[in-house]
Amino acid sequence: MKYIKWIVIIVLLLNILWYAVDSFRHSNDYYVKKIIGEVNEETVVLHVLKIEPDASYMPLEVKITDNTKITALGFKSLFIHNVGDLKQGQKVRVWYGGNADNENIAEKVVVYSLITFR
């Protein structure tokens, strides 16, 4: 029984360490928490999560390439692997950078909402 307890603890710690290293790897780029407003074949339009009544917000258009890593947290990670799996209303964390054409290129998209309300 002691072995099982220690194996579970070690696996959990390795999992936490893996996510920490993975987030540091993308920390030099822009990182945002947004909600998906529109999904096309090559782009995803992102909107802010909390809207203040007196403020105006511009949607952020991020281009999805073959190098973009698309995943999810928890159980949804089994079902989300490409841009076709992204849906309007999902909350996402996006790491992106720019290119020479002044486009926002997504490097990593992580869906973290368990339930989509739209």
pLDDT in tens, 39-68: 998 999 999 988 888 888 889 999 999 999
DSSP 74: G
**Spatial contact of 59 and 97, defined as CB atoms under 8 Å apart:** no
Q: Which residue ranges form the domains of the chain, and what is each CATH number?
A: 30-111 (2.40.50.320)
DSSP 55: -
CA–CA distances in Å: residue 74 to residues 25, 79, 103, 107 = 20, 10, 30, 20
- Ramachandran region of residue 102, left (φ > 0), alpha (ψ -120 to 50) or beta? left
- Identify which has the larger pLDDT, 43 or 26: 43
Give the model's pLDDT for residue 47: 92
